[in-house]
């Protein structure tokens, strides 16, 4: 697995499947090349289920190095945020989703942990989880073990 060393959220990048031709000029200089890649994003131990690929960008100023740029909507939605586009202000609007508080009887509910994840899920196949490797426990046990709820399935 290739390790992502220079992951940056490129806010003016791909929004809602649309490549924005920006009015903002960044100090990085001209782009020498840009290409979609198959790199994955692991968030708190769980692979994000992205519907768009990352982009490798090489700048003319630093031709021996590439940076991974992520499609902001796909990544943030996979992390559990709401994403909107404010075209009038050239702004990506990121909002934390409201997560309902946990009631006492919900603590006895069965939750699932992926083989490597640190978040617990309400289903055993959230995102790219392998159901065959997921393990179940009560929500109380998961919380007692320091796990937090997945923002996608809760
Ligand atoms: Zn989940």
DSSP letters along 54-115, please? EEEEEETTEEEEEEEEE-HHHHHHHTTEEEEEEGGGTEEEEEEPP-PPPPGGGGGSEEEE-S
Q: Give the whole-number percent of the chain exceeding pLDDT 70.
A: 79
Would you say residue 13 has pLDDT above 90?
Answer: no
Distance (angstroms) between ligand 1 centre and the Cα of 109 equals 14
Q: Which of 12-21, 27-36, 105-114, 137-146 has the lowest average pLDDT?
A: 12-21
pLDDT averaged over every residue in the chain: 79
Distance (angstroms) between ligand 1 centre and the Cα of 34 equals 32
pLDDT tens digits along 106-153: 888 999 998 888 889 999 998 888 899 999 999 989 988 888 888 888
Q: How confident is the model at residue 98 (pLDDT cuts 50, 70, 90)?
A: low
Mean pLDDT confidence for 24-39 = 81
Distance (angstroms) between ligand 1 centre and the Cα of 106 equals 16
Q: Would you call 71 exposed, middle or buried from its count of C-beta atoms within 10 A (0-12, 13-18, 19+)?
A: buried
Mean pLDDT confidence for 19-45 = 75
């Amino acid at each position: 697995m290739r390790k992502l060393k220079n992951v940056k959220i490129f806010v003016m990048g791909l929004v809602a499947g649309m490549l924005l031709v920006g009015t903002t000029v960044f100090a990085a200089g001209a782009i020498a090349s840009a290409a979609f890649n198959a790199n994955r994003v692991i968030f708190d131990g769980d692979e994000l289920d992205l519907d768009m690929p990352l982009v490798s960008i090489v700048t003319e100023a630093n031709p021996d190095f590439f940076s991974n740029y992520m499609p902001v909507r796909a990544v943030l939605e996979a992390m559990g945020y709401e994403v909107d586009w404010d075209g009038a202000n050239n702004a990506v609007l990121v909002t934390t989703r409201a997560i309902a508080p946990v009631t006492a009887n919900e603590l006895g509910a069965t939750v699932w942990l992926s083989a490597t994840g640190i978040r617990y899920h309400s289903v055993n196949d959230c995102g790219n989880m392998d159901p065959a490797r997921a393990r179940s426990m009560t929500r109380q046990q998961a919380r007692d073990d320091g796990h937090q709820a997945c923002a996608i399935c809760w």
